[in-house]
Amino acid sequence: MNSFSPNMLKTFEACPKKYYFKYIQKISVPQKSSMFEKGKKVHALANYYLRGDDLTKMEKTLDSEEKLIWEQLKQNEFFQKSCVNSEYNLSCKIGNYWIGGRLDALMKDEISYYILDYKTGSVPKNAEYDYQTMVYLLCTAKLLQNQTRKQVQSDECNIKFVYIDLKNNHNLIIDFTPEKEKKYEEKIIEICNKITNVRFQEEIEHSQICEFCEYRKICI
Ligand code: SF4
């Protein structure tokens, strides 16, 4: 049985050949990025913080920019809600496919559940239909439906996806509705079908995205 993460779906959509290198051949190419390191640090801090650990020593290792980002996250209204779980592995079955991944955090208040995603880089352009948004919302909806042990409609669950854009100190909030649930399921099944039935080609037309691809050296 195949299982797909949001990154796998995004990679395939961007370039099937890249998917082939990364997930079939399992060739990993290290990426140099200070933003990536910053993101990792903030994610680790957030996880310890939500677990209630003492962060005094860790906070001392932050540079001024990291400190600013971290303070912004601590002050964020969604980050201050009640934590259900952080660094939370979730999966669910859509059609014949298992999808899943690791949420930064799941929070709640009296009204809603909130899936949080901390972004130190850029927020997805079409966030509403980004695979991360779709996969995490569907998995959380299924989890909550199972927990209540009855068939609950997604609007009764009242779930929102919140991208916390730490670069611009802004929240991008995406509502989950029964219409969206249906559309998300269709989109997920469509791309999973494509991945399952694809025939990877040796020869491929190169495009602009190749310029920034980490597999460029072995592909072109
Ligand atoms: S170099 Fe271009 S064609 Fe090759 S894997 Fe990367 S994006 Fe795909």
Compute the average pLDDT of residues 172-185: 96
Hey, whose CA ends up nearest to atom 2 of ligand 1? 210
Q: For residue 152, is pLDDT > 60?
A: no
Check residue 208 and report its DSSP letter: G
What pLDDT score does 49 carry? 96
* Mean pLDDT confidence for 49-54: 95
pLDDT value of position 204:
73
Ligand 1 first shell, C-beta below 6 A:
15, 17-18, 21, 204, 206, 209-210, 213, 215-216, 219-220
What pLDDT is attached to residue 30? 75
Q: Report pLDDT for 208.
A: 82
Confidence check: pLDDT of 184 > 70? yes
Residues 142-147, mean pLDDT to the nearest whole number: 87
Mean pLDDT score, 116-122: 93
pLDDT value of residue 128: 97
Mean pLDDT of all residues in 165-175: 95
Reduced to 3 states (helix: H, G, I; strand: E, B; else coil), residue 100 is strand
Residue 90, pLDDT above cutoff 60: yes
Cα-to-centroid distance, 214 and ligand 1 (Å):
8
Are 35 and 121 in contact by the 8 Å Cβ rule? The answer is yes
Q: What is the pLDDT of residue 34?
A: 60
Cα distances (angstroms) measured from residue 42 to each of 65, 95, 96, 188: 11, 35, 36, 30
Percent of the chain with pLDDT over 70: 92
Assign 33 a pLDDT band (cuts: 50, 70, 90): low
- Find the distance separating the first CA and the last CA of the chain, reported in whole Å: 32
What are the backbone angles phi and psi of residue 212, rounded to the nearest 5°?
-105, 10
Mutate-to-test residue for ligand 1 from 31, 213, 218, highest number of ligand atoms within 8 A of CB: 213
Domains in the chain, CATH or no CATH each: 3-219 (3.90.320)
Q: Give how far Cα 123 sits from Cα of 12, 48, 117, 183, 186, Å.
A: 19, 23, 9, 21, 23
Residue closest by Cα to atom 4 of ligand 1:
219
Q: Which residues contact 56 (CB under 8 A, 6 or more apart)?
A: none
Q: What is the model's pTM?
A: 0.91
Which atom of ligand 1 is nearest to 16's Cα? 8
What is the rounded average pLDDT for all residues in the chain?
90
Q: What is the structure's pLDDT at 35?
A: 59
Q: What is the pLDDT at residue 212?
A: 87
Alpha-carbon distances of 211 from 208, 215, 216, rounded to whole Å? 6, 10, 7
Mean pLDDT, residues 5-31 taken together: 92
Tens-digit pLDDT profile for residues 187-219: 999 999 999 999 887 677 777 889 989 999 888
Atom of ligand 1 lying closest to residue 18 CA = 5
- Mean per-residue pLDDT, 56-75: 92
